[in-house]
Amino acid sequence: MVFGEANEFVEILRGAIPVYALFFLPLLIILSPLDPVLGAHEFAVYRVQQYDLQGTAYGCRSAAMNVEARTLQSGSYSRRGVLARITELTLTKYHEIISQMAGGLIILFPHNLLSLSNNEIQHILELEKSILEEETSVPIYFAVETPEIRRIYEEIEVSANNVDKQPTTEAILSSITMNGFQFVVGASQPKALSDVQVTNVWGKLHGHGIEEQLPSIVIVAHYDAFGVAPALSYGADSNGSGVAALIELARLFFLLYSSSQTHAKFNLVFLLSGAGKFNYQGAKKWIEDNLETSESGLLQEIGRAHV
């Protein structure tokens, strides 16, 4: 009796395959041999930063992600999560992913950055610059390519991309039995920080003579690192090297100012400023707090000093 009623139900739905397939999809997923729990993998991801500077928005505006996984080889990115190696993600592909309103983008970078060639490093710097200069609503994350993630990447590349090339009906049936992956990031919507404190650290060597009547030279280096993903910005070159140079200069000038023969007739200020990459906000705040004038000409930048 039950089978007879089931046959009548099938006859009613005959000719409406997409509806039929979608109706039974939850049941077929439950009967799938792939255990969702055993098939789950967790790994750390780092979101692209976002900030507003002088009324202009920069970076990634979204965080949550719950989308079907694809790789770069998939031609369709709309409402899907894209897993891409940073060395293979060209600027053209990146803009294509953003323009198609992908559901998310996870960019993999190698565990050993020293293995990258000079051309690959230059490519990464250009990609980072492009990501930071543009505002996007697509959630973008970075992750280290571990052996486990590499296996996931290879499986997505083989299975999911094959489904993209199949007719619609076959693709639905294949998606039921394939070992598919879903990217899930349960993050809340980012909120702007209402009260951001910029901290400066500074010291002063008094010149020979009456301090208030002597000119002052301020040597500045920003101490905070800056990058496309704040948690991955170690800052060895920007600006750990600048901080090290400033501290060494302070040590050398302290020795010179300790002797009356080499005690110069000007004050020296050594300033470690915050928010250096945010339009020199820390240095500007120090000028406003300590000087009577805040002319823009006071800020002169040395991009890179070679010894």
Cα torsion 187, 188, 191, 195: sign: negative
Is 173 in contact with 22 (CB distance < 8 Å)?
no
**pTM for the structure as a whole:** 0.72
pLDDT digits (tens, 9 = 90+) for 123-144: 999 999 999 888 999 999 999 9
pLDDT 10s digits, 135-194: 999 999 999 999 999 998 998 888 765 655 555 555 555 554 445 688 999 888 888 777
| Contacts with 257 (C-beta within 8 Å, 6 or more apart), sequence order | 205, 206, 207, 263, 264, 268
| pLDDT tens per residue across span 233-257 | 888 878 889 999 999 999 999 999 9
Tokens 């010291």 correspond to what residue?
203
* CB proximity list for 44: less than 8 A, separation 6 or greater: 143, 144
With cut-offs at 50, 70 and 90, classify the pLDDT of residue 90. Answer: very high
Q: Which residues contact 94 (CB under 8 A, 6 or more apart)?
A: 127, 130, 131
Q: Give percent above pLDDT 70 in the chain.
A: 75
Q: Which of 93, 100, 54, 92 is nearest to 76 (CA)?
A: 100
